[in-house]
Copies of this chain bind each other. A is one copy, B any other.
Amino acid sequence: MRYTIFGESHGPAIGVVLEGVPSGVILDMDFIRAELKRRAPGQNALSTARKEADEPEILSGVFEGRTTGTPLCAVIRNTDTRSKDYAQLQNLPRPSHADYAGSVRYKGYNDYRGGGHFSGRLTAPLVFAGALAKLILKEKGIEIAAHISILGGVEDPAPEQMEELIMAAKNDCDSVGGAIACTVSGIAPGFGAPDFGCNAEGIFSQYLFAVPAVKGVAFGAGFGFSCMRGSEANDPFYMDDKTVKTRSNCAGGINGGITNGMPITFEVAIRPTPSIGQEQDTVDLSSGKDAKLSIKGRHDPCIVQRALPVIEAAAALASCELIGI
């Protein structure tokens, strides 16, 4: 299964094409809509005011409610676009956004409105793809669950703490970063390989780094390994009835690039959204001079909570690749 996401934030539509989908999967649209809603903006004061129905239209690959096995294209129309908010940005790249790098990459021809193809909005079709992947995995007993492990420096924050942190940042015209921990349970031992392009960590990381704002990926004890000794880091084996298990899971379910039957656990670092209301230093690409920028428009003071279903989606697609779907 291979996905390709297309679309621009302020273009006619965004969407995804999935190739290699197994045939016969019941397309549970209630589940898919629920997943999309977890990501959708405009749900409360903590996220952007942009409202989008995010109702996917299936153009192909589904017949009588089931996947056909041929390429599946789903499209989500853009409706609530306010392109003029972004007109000023064409020559004033927003710090830590892709505006400048993208304009070099695409020689100035990319659609700059609302971040264009770089917009977080493009994660909607990713969540669609991930929801389909979850439906496939569920039949095989594989489940995926993510939670916020850090928000604004606070580990395992309670909901009210998160709300406070986000509202405080919003009031300061600022944003906050965090980290998301995710567990994939139910994958049998023996998937992956040590080799380039085949190892389990590499496969997961490629899907996870394709999510905007992800800047770090670590498995099991992750960067905690740098403070550990082997005697703490090693996961002793034991027999649980007839199954080989490990007492700890510092390795995050992966040894030598291959699953060992324990849950795959990983954490991703989510950078604070770079769209902040404070005045920032930038450059004017038309004049080649330093400039000041105050970003208008609608944005999230924190995307970590909205990123949860996106990280799960990426993990679901990675799991499919890992187990050969």
* A132 contacts the other chain (CB 8 A): no
Q: Are B24 and A236 in contact (CB under 8 A)?
A: no
Q: How far, in angstroms, from A273 to B316 measured CA to CA in the complex?
A: 30
The residue from B67, B100, B199, B260 contacting A209, defined by CB atoms under 8 A apart = B199
Q: Are B116 and A212 in contact (CB under 8 A)?
A: no
Chain B residues with CB below 8 A from A151, complex form: 226
* A309 contacts the other chain (CB 8 A): no
Q: Are B178 and A226 in contact (CB under 8 A)?
A: yes
Chain B residues with CB below 8 A from A102, complex form: 194, 255-256, 258
Chain B residues with CB below 8 A from A128, complex form: none
* A225 contacts the other chain (CB 8 A): yes
Chain A binding site: helix, strand, loop or mixed by DSSP? Answer: mixed
Chain B residues with CB below 8 A from A294, complex form: none
The residue from B11, B58, B110, B233 contacting A271, defined by CB atoms under 8 A apart = B233
Q: Knowing A206-B206, A209-B202, A216-B217 are in contact, say whether A4-B4 is a contact too (CB < 8 A).
A: yes
Q: Which residues in A have some Cβ–Cβ distance to B below 8 Å?
A: 3-8, 11-15, 17, 19, 23-24, 57-61, 63, 66-73, 75, 93, 95-102, 104-111, 116-118, 122, 150-153, 169, 172, 174-179, 189-197, 199, 201-202, 205-207, 209-210, 212, 214-239, 242, 244, 246-247, 250-252, 254-261, 267, 269-276, 278, 280-283, 285, 288-290
